[in-house]
Structure 1
């Protein structure tokens, strides 16, 4: 099975605030993946950055 998604060194800034710092991961075909974390941890920001929103 192949790699469906690869994220390397993702960084997101809101002005001078470094909101997401150097996140890297990959998702392989057939895997089920979830993102968990506290409110304000950056889950939605990460997904928006990956999807280009």
Structure 2
């Protein structure tokens, strides 16, 4: 099946602070996906 969304080695930094460090994932048609983590873990940054 072809992924609707595929992310490989996503990294986001604000200056010297790495908010997201090497996240990879794919989402297939029909999948329900959720991001779970503590405050400040980078969930919103990943979705942006």
TM over 0.5: yes
The aligned residue for residue 37 of structure 1 is: 37
More strand by proportion, 1 or 2?
2
What displacement does 1:30 show?
0.5
Output the TM-score relative to the length of structure 2. 0.91
Q: Which runs of 5+ in 2 are unaligned?
A: none
Q: Which runs of 5+ in 1 are unaligned?
A: 49-53
The separation in 2 between residues aligned to 1:17 and 1:37, in whole angstroms, is 18
Instruction: Count the aligned residue pairs.
Output: 48
Q: Give 4+ residue runs of structure 1 displaced > 3 Å after superposition.
A: none
More helix by proportion, 1 or 2?
1
Output the TM-score relative to the length of structure 1. 0.83
Instruction: Kindly report the root-mean-square deviation, in angstroms, between the aligned alpha carbons of the 2 structures.
Output: 0.9
